[in-house]
Amino acid sequence: MFFCPLCGYAAGMDDGQRYDRATAALEPPFAIVDLAALRANAADLVRRAAGKPIRVASKSVRSRPLLERILAMDGFRGVMAYTLPEALWLAANGFTDILVAYPTADRHALAALAGDARAAGRVTVTIDSPAHLDYVEAAVSGVHPRAELRLCLDIDAAYVALGRRIGALRSPVREPHEAADLAAAVAKRPGFRLVGLLAYEAQIAGVGDAPPANAARARLIRIMQTLSARELVLRRGRVVNAVRRHADLEFVNGGGTGSVDLTTREKAVTELAAGSGLFHPRLFDFYRRFTGRPAAMFALPVVRRPAPAR
């Protein structure tokens, strides 16, 4: 029995037979990726992106050969890396446009980045506060010669209403003036260049709007997501305009698999992000706007049956 590691999806009979034939000589445990399903999911993401490039989230696609295959497809450009050490490894292995999507406190990796002009030209590091900017500067202060570091601002994209927030608490920077102040702080420091802005709306991209057997919850989710999208399109646009007064931004990244078709409509957003949707875990079965094919599975050996029905 083949099983999707991300979602609990068991392969159908036809697929299961096909996978069994392809792996007959292998001993479990092992994992497989159905490249036809992966390509179909990728094509659907590109269709939904409607012309804007998609940056591939490597935290979901943990395979360099797969990243290379995906980036060779039309519509994909750049990697959204999970950690700075990973980004350095990717840069050393031919990847040229890498955004570290999470602020890093890895002093050794920061020093290595600052000491490698080739990597520094390929990797962008995310910051989320003046204190973090100070930390990064201190971490690279002893590096000579020191390459200029490319920076991206992480912006809070959660929805706040009636004193409650819905969404990931990713950054303390939320309002246009806060983003502008941080951008101005970067502009005043030699050795740093602000090139990007990141705002991920987890409450839309990662929350299915069609949960099974729960019509009331589905209605609440859809209302929340509609209100959140309306608020965010205005605020994100104002944030971008405020930051552009201090920096010549190369990219503004937003969205995820669940919101690609919505986020691409925003003029302020220049690129989108997606990762796990390429494998289509069970989470994405609960969206109304798109469907996909499970593409990543693993097989485990059955070592015993403790009861006839198990």
What is the distance between the alpha carbons of residues 199 and 168, in angstroms, rounded to a whole number? 11
Give the pLDDT of residue 8. Answer: 45
Please state the domain extents for the chain.
34-293
The parts of the chain modelled with pLDDT lower than 50 are: 1, 4-9
Q: List pLDDT tens digits, range 239-289.
A: 999 999 999 999 999 999 999 999 999 999 999 999 999 999 888 899 998
Give the pLDDT of residue 153. Answer: 98
Encoding tokens for residue 85? Answer: 């050490």
What is the distance between the alpha carbons of residues 71 and 272, in angstroms, rounded to a whole number? 14
Give the pLDDT of residue 14. Answer: 78
Give the pLDDT of residue 103. Answer: 94
Contacts of 100 by beta carbon, 8 Å cutoff, 6+ apart:
81, 82, 83, 84, 87, 123, 124, 125, 126
Give the pLDDT of residue 228. Answer: 96
Strands 159-161 and 164-166: antiparallel
Give the pLDDT of residue 6. Answer: 41
Q: In this structure, what is the dihedral angle of CA atoms 163, 169, 172, 174, given to the nearest 10 degrees? A: -60
The pTM for the full model equals 0.91
Residue with tokens 């090139």: 195
What is the distance between the alpha carbons of residues 191 and 206, in angstroms, rounded to a whole number? 36
Give the pLDDT of residue 2. Answer: 52
Instruction: Report the SS3 class of residue 147.
Output: coil
- Looking at 3.40.50.300, 3.40.50.970, 3.30.460.80, 3.20.20.10, the CATH number of the domain 34-293 comes to 3.20.20.10
Give the pLDDT of residue 5. Answer: 45
Give me the amino acid identity at 226.
T
Give the pLDDT of residue 282. Answer: 86
